[in-house]
Amino acid sequence: MSDGARRPSGSGATADRALAPDLARGLMLLIVALVHAHMFVSGSAAVIRGYPPVAGSPADAATAGVLTVLADSRSFPMFALLFGYGTGRILARERERGRDGPGARGVLRRRARRLLLFGAVHALLLFAGDVLGAYGLLALVAVGLTGARDRILFTVAGAGVVVGTLLYASMLAAGVSGDPDDTAAAMFLAADPVSDAAYRIGTWVITTPLFAAMSLGPFLIGAHAARQRILEEPGRHRVLLRRVAVTGTALSVAGGLPLALVTSGLWSTAPSDVTWELSALHVLTGYAGGCGLAAAVALLALRLKGRRSRAVTAVAACGRRSMSAYIWQSVVWLVLFAPYAFGLGDRVGVLGSALVALGAWGTGVLLADLLGRRGRRGPAEALLARATRPVPPTAAARVREVNGPPSP
């Protein structure tokens, strides 16, 4: 998840590393936190995207509206695009090391299998909304497309956006409920740890292929951007990035406003009357919004070139350790919101959950910065690299000596 930029060796590696990919991932994790935290708020029936039909205080209502426009259904396309970008850069580096196309894709598929396993463990232990497994599955299935011609790649990406819109809009519309006991928190947290874990892994098995399908379009767009090194060399692509940032953001805001009127309580339509078309508009423009956000961060990185503040360095360190920071957020959700832990979901509203999200992201940034200053990877990244690393020939030979020749 965090291998999109060049990693030169030596003491200057961090300084020479491209800022935009890491900064984009670090800021993306803030959006991810804001999207997830409010889903653990309980106390009233769940409306679309997990917001209560009566948003509570004016501050809660305003927060719900802002998040609907700027974050909901906008984070996962950006996440998938950056994952596709990282996958494309890994593929390019493997080829630079002399591995041919099949050999390079084999490295990525091995990594994808481990990522799928990581996702299963993450869901079992922490969070039903895991996306690591979805990206592992996506990489297994779609890595062969990353080397396709532009026309084929964009055709498949466009089809992926259409299919993703249909799937996600249907999921959102189906999730609308008027049952007072059917809260968003109830869908994510059970009353005891064992039931909670069973529910999480059962949900993960169903949602992983759906999330993978919804992420195909932006994943391929990110892989194409990696061919051009757009995030690593934003100065060469300034005009394109400006167009994508402005157009994507404008479409995202326009498409998110109708649903924001519902989630903020300004539109009196009952939750059961929220139409599928409204959900589809929100999701479709969210794909544009995810691309626009990534482009905007690339332009920001260009402005910050050569004058990184400590805060920017810390956020970039978080992006470089994005998988660890993502899992850290899941730990926070479980500890603070689970009814068998602190049970905070019964005591905060949408605004309170957003403040928790800011805290979860901020502590993740601080921890990542601490690791960065010590020259250490994130624990999840280190574990994935260790699990993905091929067995050296000498080690394989020693294993054969101990175990004997393979059976015929």
In 3D space, the residue among 336, 243, 255 whose CA is nearest the CA of residue 298 turns out to be: 243
235 within a domain of the structure (yes/no): yes
pLDDT confidence tier of residue 16, bands split at 50, 70 and 90: low
Average pLDDT, the chain: 84
Of 110-119, 134-143, 179-188, 268-277, minimum mean pLDDT range:
179-188
| Residue 406, in any domain of the structure | no
**Domain presence at residue 60:** yes
407 in any annotated domain? no
Confidence of residue 273 (pLDDT cuts 50, 70, 90): low
R_g over Cα of the chain: 21
Residue 116 has pLDDT above 90, yes or no: yes
Using CA atoms, how far residue 71 sits from 68, 141, 151, in Å, is 6, 28, 30
- Measured CA to CA, the distance from residue 358 to residue 364 in angstroms comes to 10
Asked whether 26 and 294 are in contact (CB, 8 A), the reply is no
Residue 351 contacts residue 295 (beta carbons within 8 Å): no
405 within a domain of the structure (yes/no)? no
First to last CA, the chain: 40
Domain membership of residue 294 (yes or no) is yes
Amino acid at residue number 99: R
**Is residue 73 pLDDT above 80, yes or no?**
yes
Does 398 score more than 90 pLDDT? no
Mean pLDDT check: name the lowest of 161-165, 298-302, 343-347. 343-347
Asked if residue 347 is part of any domain, the answer here is yes
Q: Please, are residues 212 and 134 in contact by the beta-carbon 8 Å criterion?
A: yes
Q: Give the pLDDT band of residue 35 (cuts 50, 70, 90).
A: very high
**What pLDDT does residue 270 have?**
52
Domain housing 383: 13-399
User: Which residues, in sequence order, are CB contacts of 142 under 8 Å at separation 6+?
Assistant: 216, 219, 220
Q: What is the pLDDT of residue 148?
A: 85
Residue 52's pLDDT is what? 63
Residue 124 reports pLDDT greater than 70: yes
Question: Would 177 be classed as within a structural domain?
Answer: yes
Residue 390 clears pLDDT 70, i.e. is over it: no
Higher pLDDT, 203 or 407: 203
Number of domains in the chain: 1
Q: How far apart are CA 188 and CA 195, in angstroms?
A: 11
Q: Provide the CB-side half-sphere exposure for 242 (13 A, CA).
A: 7
